[in-house]
Structure 1
């Protein structure tokens, strides 16, 4: 399906870019639900799928609501109110969703499933305010297991995309930036033309402006959200996805070794992939007790973060640590 989103001068003036944690939640869960996980994310999927299965999230609320293809419930992607809202902000908006919007989304899902909803979703349809807190709690668990350990890396890609788009708007104008978002998106004649759409997006059913949201997990498609009186949203693949999960070259490892010591520098280098104390001990050849002591010091210095995954704790590098390791001399 092709669709056309018309723009007035006011719509262009209210067009903006934003990062959205919930778009990463929804699109990443969809990637995991696919018969074949998109190639860029297969290594990530291999790491997180066992955690999700152990927590029962492969058969929970998100599994019921987010299909591999087709309609995505709009209430899961509230419009970002700032350039970079926190997950807590978006979860608060989900918890406060108008019951009518929840039921409308579920009706769309039912229409694509021959009128059949799972018992869990039928309960959500009857009593949204009773069920929404449970959905929020499950999203928090999913975030902790699947996104939080990797968020510094993901967010760096998203922020780099926003920087690029902002500079493009400043140098070439909004129309040019819109025209180069994706091969299925084209600006022409004062309108945004979208191809390969699952559903139409028109000004009749949305508010003014446009929210453009880069996403690492939306690849290779562009996804849209249309809710009455709210600006339409367009989630597009962020630039740099191809290198997102690559093991990085640590240009300053020797210099950091001189400052931090060999063991702590080695642990930071090994945290290209989030890992537990036991896994880091295996990778580095250090004792588990020694790794634990070094991680405590690195965390105090703001170079690592901790993320609980079931009974274990995963450690990840922070953005500061990434910058120290990858900065060119």
Structure 2
């Protein structure tokens, strides 16, 4: 079925990107139900299973149904690429009991609410379980995960600047298209609605979707969750290939970093991608920038590095 968001007038300029730690945390529970769908995450899944006994696994398992849906109130629309988990959890704590009960019953069907999701304190128990899950399974890896998501947002921003909004939407996923002033998202569930993207449309990269998804209820804020680029490299250090002549001039690591920086990236992202420390990457980046081969610019709380025109000419030669 299809979800359509109309971008009327100012809404075209209201297309924004955001990153949600809470969305990633909740959507990763799909891997509890069906790990075979996530072969690229197998190193992480194996580690998660070793700590499962320390978590409220019974409750966490109930937050995903057999169709791999999760409650909408646990995947709110984020507003920034710099969203913090603590802020999202604080906002979820203010969710009304009626909304929580509605979404949980939509998830499991009438009369089928599992025992761990019953009771007046269910929201507090859900948030406590998710907090424990975050600390055991996500916190040790979040810098690597966030670097991947931030890299995707940077790439999409360049796509808009260089090729336009329609090309960026076409590159998000096979299920997403911009037709005229309407964004179409083809979803797996039996959902079909059209609504204005009042206040703008938020695009959220994720490591836990096969293509793209949107909220099942039209009353929810306009949002598209899509698969982030580069997932296949998340859990493996990347090789650092470098042209032979340039490696002889600069050294293998610095020449390899120049190759990597065809797309702007932060030192944290590069360290996660290459499986080395941020300190080691920063030493090379500072030397390359001092030599006029890199330029840098602040993006939120991160500093992004990209090749200079001189570096592009060196690599082209």
Superposed pair shares fold, TM > 0.5: yes
Q: Report how far residue 70 of structure 1 moved.
A: 4.4
1-side partners of 2:284 and 2:112: how far apart?
51
CA gap 1:203/1:4 in 2 versus in 1, 3 angstroms: closer
2-side partners of 1:230 and 1:141: how far apart?
27
The answer to whether the 8 Å contact 2:187/2:214 transfers is no
What pairs with 1:69-148 in structure 2 (closer than 5 Å)? 69-111=67-109, 115-123=111-119, 127=120, 130-148=121-139
Partner of 2:213: 223
Q: Report how far residue 77 of structure 1 moved.
A: 1.3
2-side partners of 1:217 and 1:323: how far apart?
28
Q: Report how far residue 122 of structure 1 moved.
A: 2.7
Partner of 1:241: 231
The answer to whether the 8 Å contact 1:71/1:108 transfers is no
Q: Is structure 2 residue 46 aligned with structure 1 residue 55?
A: no
2-side partners of 1:63 and 1:48: how far apart?
13
1-side partners of 2:162 and 2:198: how far apart?
27
- Given candidates 195, 211, 214, the residue that maps to 2:205 is 214
Q: Report how far residue 201 of structure 1 moved.
A: 5.7
Q: Report how far residue 155 of structure 1 moved.
A: 0.8
Aligned-partner SS, 1:180 = helix
Q: Is structure 2 residue 145 aligned with structure 1 residue 161?
A: no
The Cα RMSD (Å) is: 2.8
Aligned-partner SS, 1:36 = helix
1:179-206 CA deviation, whole Å, 9 max, x = no partner? 2100111221321222243143634497
1-side partners of 2:22 and 2:282: how far apart?
29
The answer to whether the 8 Å contact 2:202/2:222 transfers is yes
1-side partners of 2:64 and 2:280: how far apart?
32
The answer to whether the 8 Å contact 1:11/1:208 transfers is yes
The answer to whether the 8 Å contact 2:7/2:196 transfers is no
The answer to whether the 8 Å contact 1:222/1:235 transfers is yes
1-side partners of 2:201 and 2:212: how far apart?
14
Q: Is structure 2 residue 180 aligned with structure 1 residue 175?
A: no
Q: Report how far residue 172 of structure 1 moved.
A: 2.2
CA gap 1:193/1:228 in 2 versus in 1, 3 angstroms: closer
Q: Report how far residue 24 of structure 1 moved.
A: 0.9
Partner of 1:310: none
- State the TM-score, normalized to the length of structure 1: 0.69
1:207-232 CA deviation, whole Å, 9 max, x = no partner? 442111101122x2322225565532
1:133-173 CA deviation, whole Å, 9 max, x = no partner? 22222111101111111111111110100101111122222
CA gap 1:320/1:195 in 2 versus in 1, 3 angstroms: same
- Given candidates 161, 182, 198, the residue that maps to 1:191 is 182
Number of positions where the alignment pairs a residue of Structure 1 with one of Structure 2 = 255
Aligned-partner SS, 2:29 = helix
Stretches of structure 1 that go unaligned for 5 or more consecutive residues are 252-302, 304-316
1:244-285 CA deviation, whole Å, 9 max, x = no partner? 11134479xxxxxxxxxxxxxxxxxxxxxxxxxxxxxxxxxx
Stretches of structure 2 that go unaligned for 5 or more consecutive residues are 242-267, 269-274, 289-317
The answer to whether the 8 Å contact 1:205/1:229 transfers is no
Q: Is structure 2 residue 34 aligned with structure 1 residue 38?
A: no
The answer to whether the 8 Å contact 1:19/1:85 transfers is yes
CA gap 1:91/1:322 in 2 versus in 1, 3 angstroms: farther
- State the TM-score, normalized to the length of structure 2: 0.72
1-side partners of 2:154 and 2:66: how far apart?
31
